Amino acid sequence: PGRGEISASPLMVHAIADLHGDYDQAIAALRLCGLIAADGTWAGGNATLVQTGDLVDRGPDSLKVLELFRTLRRQAAQAGGRVVTLLGNHEALNLEGDFRYVNEAELQSTGRETWSEMFDPEAGAIGAELRGHEAAVVAGGGGRRPLFFP
């Protein structure tokens, strides 16, 4: 590992939240944890990474961040590790067709109709993938209650 980085350990669970389409910061956080190499490939061995949702919206690279985690899931599994990606409220908003938080430049370059098709929970490739993610829940008020349903 480089200066300021740690080696991933199979006994550690790394959790990262709210990357919000910021690819550069996603890479920086994953490198800091020792989970990816300089070339962006999985370096965490059999460690576990939990991404607690909100990969998308706000930042200019939501699709790139989604692809990064899709790739890391495959690479981690091949190395005996695991990447768990939870469904955040911003993924749920996109599944529901609510694009108000999508970065305007990314939405324009992709096209609103194309974006809508990709995130369609029934027919879209990204929508179908996100429906497979576990949803976060809130504890309290007499037990656990779902924040939203995939």
Assigned token pair, 55: 């990969």
Assigned token pair, 95: 């599944």
Assigned token pair, 97: 């067709």
CA distances from 136 to 64, 78, 85, 87, 115 (A): 23, 26, 10, 7, 24
Q: Are 135 and 129 in contact, with CB atoms under 8 Å apart?
A: no
Q: Which residue's entry shows tokens 């080696």? A: 7
**Residue of 14, 20, 90, 133 with catalytic role:** 90
Q: Which residue's entry shows tokens 């919000």? A: 20
Is 20 a residue of the active site? no
Annotated catalytic residues are 90
